[in-house]
Structure 1
Amino acid sequence: MRKKISLFLTVTLLFALAALASCSRGSGSADAKFEAYTNSLFCQEVSSNTISLHYTLENPTDYGIKEAPVSFGSCTTDTASISASAENALASLHAHNRAQLSDKNKLTYDVLDDYLGISLEEAGYALYDEPLAPLTGTQAQLPVLLSEYQFKNTEDIDTYLTLMTKLPEYFESIIAFEQAKSDKGLFMASYSADDIIDECNAFVSMGNDNYLYSSFTERLDAMKLDKAEYDDYVKRNNENVKDYIFPSYKKLAEALQALRTTGKNDNGLCYLPDGRDYYELVVKRETGSSRSVKELKELTQTQILEDLTAMQQILTSSSKETFSNAAPALSDTDPVSILSSLKSKLKGSFPDPPDVSTEIKYVQKSMEEYLSPAFFMVPAIDSTTDNVIYINQGHMPDDLSLFTTLAHEGYPGHLYQTVYFQNLKPDPIRNLLNFGGYTEGWATYTEMLSYYYAPIPKEQAALLQRNTSVILGLYALADIGIHYDGWKLMDTVSFFRQYGIEDANTIESIYDLIISDPANYLKYYIGYVEFMELKKEAIDKWGDAFTQENFHKKVLTAGPASFDILRTYIFQ
Structure 2
Amino acid sequence: MIQMIYMGIFMQKFLEKFKRKPLLFLLPSASVLLLLFLLFFHSQQDADQAFSKYTSELFRQEISGNTITLHYTLKNPEKYGIENAPISYGQCTTDPELVRSSVDAERTRLRSYNRTSLSKDNRLTYDVLNDYLNSAYDLSPYTLYDEPLAPLTGTQSQLPVILSEYRFYEISDIENYLQLLTKTPEYFRSILNFEHTKSESGLFMASYTADSIIKECRDFVHLKESNYLYSSFVERLDELASTKNSGLTEKQRKAYTRQNSAYIKKYIFPSYEQLISGLSELRNSGKNNNGLCYLPNGRTYYEYLVRSETGSSRSIAELQNLTNAQILSDLTVMQRVLTDDSSSGSSSVTSDIFSSQGTLLSESDPEKILSTLSNKITKDFPPYPQIHTQIKYVQKSMEEYLSPAFYMIPAIDNTSENVIYINKGHITDNLSLFTTFAHEGYPGHLYQNVYYASLHPNPIRCVLNYGGYTEGWATYSEMMSYYFSTLTKEQATIFQRNSSVILGLYALADMGIHYDGWKLADAAAFFHTYGITDDATIEDIYDLIIADPANYLKYYIGYLEFLELKKDAVDKWKDNFTQMRFHKAVLDVGPASFDVIRAYLF
Q: What TM-score, normalized by structure 1, do the two folds share?
A: 0.95
Deviations 1:291-332 (A, max 9, x none): 000000000000000000000000000131233223144221
Question: Are the aligned partners of 1:34 and 1:96 in contact in 2 as well (CA < 8 Å)?
Answer: yes
CA deviations 1:309-357 (Å, max 9, x no partner) are 0000000001312332231442211011100000001122111122111
Instruction: Report Cα offsets for 1:13-61 as digits up to 9, x if no partner.
Output: xxxxxxxxxxxxx997000000000000001111110000000000001
Q: Tell me the distance in 2 between the aligned counterparts of 1:43 and 1:361.
A: 31
User: Match of 2:324?
Assistant: 301
Q: Partner of 2:267 in structure 1?
A: 244
Who is 1:100 aligned against?
117
Pairwise mapping of residues 208-357 of structure 1 onto structure 2 (< 5 A)?
A: 208-224=225-241, 225-318=248-341, 319-326=346-353, 327=357, 328-357=359-388
Deviations 1:125-158 (A, max 9, x none): 1100110100001111100000000101110000
Rounded to whole Å, the distance in 2 between the matches of 1:198 and 1:329 is 37
For 2:338 and 2:325, how far apart are their aligned partners in 1? 20
What is the CA–CA distance in structure 1 between the aligned matches of 2:435 and 2:97, rounded to whole Å? Answer: 45
Which has a greater percent of helix? 2
Is the counterpart of residue 466 in structure 1 residue 497 in structure 2?
A: yes
Deviation at residue 463 of structure 1 after TM alignment? 0.3
**Aligned partner letter, 1:105:** N
Residue 390 of structure 2 contacts residue 420 of structure 2 at CA under 8 Å; is this kept in 1? Answer: yes
TM-score normalised per structure 2: 0.90
- CA deviations on 1:46-93 (whole Å, 9 max, x unpaired) are 111000000000000110111100000001111111111121111110
Match of 1:54 among 47, 67, 71: 71
State which of 493, 498, 504 in structure 1 corresponds to 2:524.
Answer: 493
Say which of 82, 87, 95 aligns to 1:70. 87
Q: Report the counterpart of residue 33 of structure 2 in structure 1.
A: none
Over residues 428-482 of structure 1, what are the superposed CA-to-partner deviations in whole Å (9 max), with x where a residue is unaligned?
0000000000000000001000000111111010000000000000000000000
What is the CA–CA distance in structure 1 between the aligned matches of 2:44 and 2:51, rounded to whole Å?
12
Q: Is the 8 A contact 2:391 2:419 kept in 1?
A: yes
State the partner residue of 2:480.
Answer: 449
Structure-2 separation of matches of 1:403 and 1:209: 30
1:528-539 to 2 correspondences below 5 Å: 528-539=559-570
Larger radius of gyration: 2
Gaps of 5+ in 2: 1-42, 242-247
C-alpha distance in 1 between matches for 2:264 and 2:438? 35
Q: CA deviation at 1:172?
A: 0.3
Q: What is the rounded CA distance, in whole Å, between the counterparts of 2:554 and 2:250 in structure 1?
A: 49
CA 1:28 to 1:552, structure 2 compared with 1: closer, same or farther past 3 Å? closer
1: distance between equivalents of 2:70 and 2:591?
A: 20
2:233 pairs with 1:202: no
In structure 1, distance between residues paired with 2:302 and 2:598: 24
1:174 to 188, 191, 203: 191
- Cα distance in 1 between the residues matched to 2:274 and 2:329: 50
- The 2-side partners of 1:554 and 1:253 are apart by 47
Q: Could you tell me whether the CA contact under 8 Å between 1:179 and 1:259 is conserved in 2?
A: yes
Q: Which residue of 1 aligns with 2:9?
A: none
The answer on whether the counterparts of 2:384 and 2:454 sit within 8 Å (CA) in structure 1 is: no
2:277 & 2:77 partners in 1: Cα distance?
A: 38
Q: Which moved more, 1:223-232 or 1:139-148?
A: 223-232
Match of 1:270, SS state, is: helix
Counterpart selection for 1:86 from 103, 119, 127: 103
**Once structures 1 and 2 are overlaid, which stretch shifts more, 174-183 or 314-323?**
314-323
Pick from 31, 36, 56: which aligns with 1:39? 56
SS, match of residue 204 in structure 2: coil
Larger displacement relative to structure 2 (49-58 or 85-94) = 85-94
Q: Distance in 2 between matches of 1:353 and 1:332?
A: 25
**Separation (CA, whole Å) in 2 of partners of 1:27 and 1:369:** 54
Aligned partners of 1:122 and 1:233: how far apart in 2?
Answer: 43
Q: Which SS does the other structure have where 1:222 is aligned?
A: helix
Question: What's the offset of the Cα at 1:235?
Answer: 0.6
Cα shift at 1:381: 0.2
- Give the AA of the match of 1:61: E
Over the aligned positions, Cα root-mean-square deviation in angstroms equals 1.1
Pair 1:114-2:131 in alignment: yes
Q: CA deviation at 1:358?
A: 0.4
Matching residue within 521, 527, 530 for 2:558:
527
Q: In 1, distance between residues paired with 2:531 and 2:239?
A: 52
Aligned pairs (5 A) from 1:360-509: 360-509=391-540
In the alignment, the residues of structure 2 paired with residue 124 and residue 538 of structure 1 have an alpha-carbon distance, to the nearest angstrom, of 37
Q: Which amino acid aligns with 2:522?
A: D
CA distance in 2, matches of 1:502, 1:415: 36
The equivalent residue for 1:559 is: 590
Using the TM superposition, give the Cα deviation of residue 231 of structure 1 relative to its aligned residue in structure 2, in angstroms: 1.1
1:329–1:398: 8 Å Cα contact kept in structure 2?
A: no
Secondary structure of the residue aligned to 1:260 is helix
Looking at structure 1, the residues matched to 237 and 379 of structure 2 have their Cα atoms a distance apart, in angstroms, of 42
Show structure 1 runs of 4+ deviating over 3 A: none
Letter in 2 for 1:499: Y
CA contact (8 A) 2:469 2:558 kept: yes
CA contact (8 A) 2:44 2:119 kept: no
Structure 1 residue matching 2:240: 3-state secondary structure? coil
Q: Distance in 2 between matches of 1:379 and 1:226?
A: 27
> Given the alignment of the two structures, is residue 158 of structure 1 paired with residue 164 of structure 2, yes or no?
no
Contact between 1:354 and 1:419, CA under 8 Å: does it hold in 2?
yes
User: Which residue in the other structure is 1:11 paired with?
Assistant: none
What SS is found at the alignment partner of 1:324?
helix
| CA–CA distance in structure 1, aligned partners of residues 526 and 514 of structure 2 | 14
Q: Deviations over 1:192-248 (max 9, x none)?
A: 111111111111110110000000011111233323211110110000000000000
Q: Structure 1 regions of 5+ residues with no counterpart?
A: 1-25
Q: How far apart, CA to CA, are the structure 2 residues paired with 1:455 and 1:329?
A: 8
- In the other structure, the counterpart of 1:4 is none
Q: Distance in 2 between matches of 1:332 and 1:270?
A: 46
